Amino acid sequence: MNIEAVELENIRSHVKTRVTFGKGFNCLVGGLGCGKSSILYAIDFALFGEPLGKSYEYLLREGATSGKVTLYFSHNGKRYKLVRGLRRVGKGISQNFDDLRLYQDGSLIASTKSDAVEEQIKAITGLDKEIFREIIWVRQEHLKELLNMTPRERQRRLDELFGLSDYEIAWSNLAAYQKEYEGEKRAYEKDSDIVGLQSLSTEYHRLVEELSLLEIDIQKLSKKLEETRKTLEEVDRELKKLESLRESIEELKRKEAQIQASLVSVEDSSATLAEKIDGKKIAIENLKQRIKNIQIQLEENRRRLKETGIVEDLPIEKLRNYLLSFDEQIASLKAEQEALLQSINTNQRRVASLSSESKCPVCLQPLDGTYKNNLMKKLSDENEEKKRTISQLQMEIAELQQIKEKAATAISNIQILSSKLEELQKLLEEESKGLDSLLKEFDKNQKRDNQVRSQLMKVRAEIKGFDISELEKTKIRRDSIFREYYSLDSELRAKKSRKEDIMRRIDDLKVRIDNAQKKLERMKKLERTMEIISSIREAYRSIQPKMRSEFVKVLGNFVQQVLDSLVGDEKGPINVAIDEEYTPYVVNESGARREVSNLSGGERTLIAFAYRLGLGQLIMQSKTGHSLSFLLLDEPTESLGQEDGSINRLADVISRFKAVEQIIAVTHSEVFAEKAEHVIKVEKEDNQSRVIIEEKIT
């Protein structure tokens, strides 16, 4: 992997900074707090996204609401661009996953999900956060961290990095499995199915034998039941025929009863009709007699009417008009009578007047005695004549009234009798029609009576021809065969039920036996597994020290090679030995060991640097399969002095150390930076960092 450039936006003291790197030795140089280490922090954030502490407070520029890091790198001939962002939310700072992007040769291959980007980074470079922060990035004051640990801590930490601690974890985890399998095996040893497997097998074979005998009995019973069923079906068919015949006879008997009832009904109806006919005849005779009587009365009233001088054959209306003429005549006579009475009264008043006075009662002229007497006599004679006329008129009026009353009575009687005669004639006509209808119905009933009697005789003849005894015999036979069939069927069902019960028990026993066999197989597998686990645990116990010895041996070679290249020929060689706890020692010519803590500060720094480089090479090869390709060093010159030339030597060694393709170092030492192939000056002004790329003349 080769880092080509990194861009920082609002990262610590960098507002907007772009830093480019080349292959070989790159050196970021500047004063304290100018923002050099911030660039390394930005590279770490871009690659893995997780903060070094609990928050991103150390990374986002103070007062900024968002920040971003863009990292450009290449690997195996492909170029990559990785973008990661930060944002301030309330009082906290979080990663902005909307900015998260990973490009390969300009194409987006992962975004928005940190896990997906991390998987791609590991797949591309082989790096993960642990390897990067422990091996690749040697942070300030962390160079000697491994050397300052206790031997036990160092061994534990490096075993984790080398993956040797996995054997210890596996050894412990396998113990739990071993214990679990032992418990399972003990449970199987006490399992009732396994303990009673022999008795289960014996019971299984006994039931199989019983099932075989039962199946033979079932076959025999089934055959016999089938024969009985056929016989029963034949008898049933015969019985059905007889039952059908009996039903026919029953039907005939019902028909006989119906016919008998119908005959009774017809006879009753005929008797009723006969009574009605007799009644009708009597009623007709009565009506005829009544009509005759009314006709006699009519003739009598017409004769009386004729006696009054009225034509008797006239209609009633004209007869009534004749009655009105009587009223007119009587009224005329009464008027004449009234006029005569008034005239008599007038004459009487005149006579009275003449008796008292001798004056004319009409003109009031005086009269002589003779004329007066003559006039009085004349008036008296006139009155007498008028009285006689009145009497005659009275007699005529009385006679007319008698004739009128006689005529009115005759006319009224004629009208009433004519109306009654008309009603009786209509009633006679209706009764005659009713009699004709009854006579026809009676004749019809007589024919129906003859037909019903004929049908009844025929049905009774058919009923006499049936013999019921054959039906009873067939019923008895059918009941006997049915009882036999039912008995066989019950026995067969019982045996089939027993067969099903045995089959269920056999299946249950088979399952239990199979389970017991499986449990036995499982128990044997557990025994083999426990043996294998025990062997594996022993192997883990034995392989870990062997592998650690191999790692220690290879690590010692790597550290010695790096140290030899760092020291060079100017001073005597520093021989290093590493024990089983990964603790380095300096060995003198006599073979005596000297602890690193007893060395000078410069020597300790050189050994720490060589130790980290050697450890990095070994871990990268063991973990990723390729060598350490780049290294980040933050102030590697700690404890080195300029007077003794150790800084120059370290810088010179790094510049000549070609085993690592790219080294990016952060330092405040101008002397150290002079040996770098690419020098990047970092300055800070008004709390803002800026970089200056120096072109070196080669």
Class of domain 2-141+630-694: alpha beta
Torsion of CA 231, 236, 238, 240, to 10 degrees: -170
Tokens encoding 411: 């006319």
Q: Where are the alpha helices (DSSP H) in 192-309?
A: 192-195, 197-307
CB 400 within 8 A of CB 330: yes
pLDDT value of position 466? 64
pLDDT value of position 569? 56
CB 341 within 8 A of CB 390: yes
CA–CA gap between residue 56 and residue 49 (Å, rounded): 10
Going from the C-alpha of 80 to that of each of 17, 86, 112, 472, the distances in angstroms are: 19, 20, 17, 109
Could you tell me the mean pLDDT of each successive run of 10 residues in the chain, 698 residues long? 94 94 92 90 93 88 93 93 93 92 94 89 85 80 74 79 70 75 79 80 87 90 90 85 75 80 84 88 89 86 76 68 73 84 84 77 73 82 85 83 79 83 88 88 85 80 70 83 89 90 90 84 81 75 74 78 67 76 79 76 74 78 76 78 69 76 89 88 91 71
> Which among 628, 664, 689 is positioned nearest to 3, based on CA atoms?
664
CB 60 within 8 A of CB 49: no
- Identical fold between 2-141+630-694 and 302-442: no
Which CATH architecture best describes the domain 302-442?
A: Orthogonal Bundle (1.10)
Number of residues in the chain: 698
Q: What is the SS3 assignment for 78?
A: strand
Per DSSP, 597 falls in state G
CB 565 within 8 A of CB 617: no
Phi, psi torsion values for 518, nearest 5 degrees: -65, -40
Contacts of residue 46, defined as CB under 8 A and 6 or more positions apart, other chains included, come to: 6, 69, 70, 71, 82, 83, 84
Per DSSP, 62 falls in state T
Contacts of residue 277, defined as CB under 8 A and 6 or more positions apart, other chains included, come to: 435, 438, 439, 442
Instruction: Please report, for the chain, the start and end positions of each structural domain, with discontinuous segments joined by +.
Output: 2-141+630-694, 302-442
Strand arrangement of the beta sheet that strand 575-578 belongs to: 575-578, 584-587, 593-595
pLDDT value of position 683? 93
Strand arrangement of the beta sheet that strand 678-685 belongs to: 137-138, 630-634, 662-667, 24-29, 678-685, 688-694
DSSP character string of 4-40: EEEEEEEETTEEEEEEE--SEEEEEE--TTSSHHHHH
Tokens encoding 508: 């249950």
Kindly state the greatest CA–CA separation across the chain.
234
pLDDT value of position 260? 83
CA–CA gap between residue 83 and residue 45 (Å, rounded): 10
pLDDT value of position 107? 94
CB 181 within 8 A of CB 526: yes
pLDDT value of position 87? 94
> Which among 41, 61, 38, 63 is positioned nearest to 50, based on CA atoms?
41
